[in-house]
Amino acid sequence: MLTCALLVAPLIAGVSGCAGSPDPLSAKPYDAADQISFSGDGDGRKADPDKPLEVTAKGDDSRITDVTATDAAGRYVRGELAEDGKHWRSTVPLAAGAHYTLKVSTEDSNGAPGRRTVDFSTSSARRLLKVTFGPKAGEYGVGQPITAKLSRPVKDPSARAVIERALKVDSRPAVEGVWHWVDSRNLHYRPQEYWPAHATITAHSNLKGIRIGGGLYGGDAKSLRLTTGDRLEALTDSGTHQMTVKRNGVPIRTIPITTGMPGFDTRNGIKVVLAKESAVRMTGASIGLGAGSYDLMVYWAARVTKSGEYVHAAPWSTGSQGYANVSHGCTGMSTANAEWFFNTVRLGDIVQVVNSNGEDMAPFSNGYGDWNMAWADWRKGSAVSGGGQSDATTADSARLRPQV
């Protein structure tokens, strides 16, 4: 028993000896405030979001081992640490008017760990870009594009790409869609085909506080929610003088019509119902005819172009409806059929004209002609999907007043 005790005693002494030399890595991190500096330090001023965030180790006796920077939502700011551990720099822009938490880990020449945690904010942007989505919230037809109007013009392709990536459109059921830059202040969004019937579509912006370029930052934007109803399409055949109205692909009524006479031919192409007016005054003088040509109150009018094309009641031409084209560009029908059409369609429903001798419907300048552009060409107008393009020049200034 005495021999065993003598053997155990040195082992106990050995353990005690190890406890007297602690591992520096197991020690509680010391306050490294004096060993590092970062670009947001000084006089309580806010950090400049136009400049990268930089963290530097002071002196020769310490180095940085890890840096994490997160915003108020917990999203990380990417960055790069130099090989010698003396410098860290953010590689993505900071948001303007945002709050961040910076955590820096260090070690000294003996390997002891240090830590510094700093909360800081960035200064607010001086130039803001605001976004307004359209149309107004509500139920629309399957042809209604989503629009985004910018408060300032943006022409730089890289800046356009930043904006486009931040403007989100989602639908249930899901469909692929793309933004198209109509000009430097207006974008339209549509899927390859019409929206699904009875879909829910939401548009929102993630642009707030994001640096766009040239000292411009994203501002506020109110989100938008739309729904679609049945898929309603009106096919207007100027050759046969008939309109066929379909609901979800099934014909529900065929209507005798008259469209534009020679010299006032109705535009061919896909149009979208822009407005519904139970009564509208139409005059010949508004389209360049003599003052005494006509001056009429027209009823049950669904507008399909900015320049004044309507689908409306035309009781004065019932003898020609189904047989000849005698209007000044509008699609005319009996009062009973016009009232039915007026009460059946909603804004965003499709009206397509075929076999007219008129010009083609412009994509953007005369209402929503978006669907007349091939999908491949539509994608070319995206700064992300197609590389962007210059401002659209699809002028369509003729006949800027209602015509019967």
Angle at 383 between CA 379 and CA 386, to 5 degrees: 35
How is residue 25 annotated by DSSP?
A: G
Q: Are 222 and 132 in contact (CB under 8 A)?
A: yes
Cβ within 8 Å of residue 4, ≥6 positions away? none
Strand 177-181 versus strand 186-191 pairing type: antiparallel
Q: Are 62 and 106 in contact (CB under 8 A)?
A: yes
Q: For residues 258 and 279, what is the distance between their CA atoms, to the nearest angstrom?
A: 19
CA nearest 218: which of 285, 274, 157, 165? Answer: 165
Catalytic residue (choose from 180, 188, 328, 330): 330
Cα→Cα distances 55→111, 118, 298, Å: 20, 11, 72
Cβ within 8 Å of residue 90, ≥6 positions away? 52, 53, 54, 69, 77, 78, 79
Catalytic residue (choose from 180, 188, 312, 328): 312
Q: For residues 372 and 362, what is the distance between their CA atoms, to the nearest angstrom?
A: 8
Q: 237 pairs with which residues across the strands?
A: 242, 354
Question: Chain centroid to CA 253: how far?
Answer: 37
Cα→Cα distances 299→268, 325, 349, Å: 23, 19, 19
87 tagged catalytic: no
Q: For residues 103 and 120, what is the distance between their CA atoms, to the nearest angstrom?
A: 11
Q: For residues 318 and 187, what is the distance between their CA atoms, to the nearest angstrom?
A: 41
312 tagged catalytic: yes
Q: For residues 88 and 54, what is the distance between their CA atoms, to the nearest angstrom?
A: 6
38 is written with which tokens? 């970062």
| Catalytic residue numbers, as ranges | 312, 330
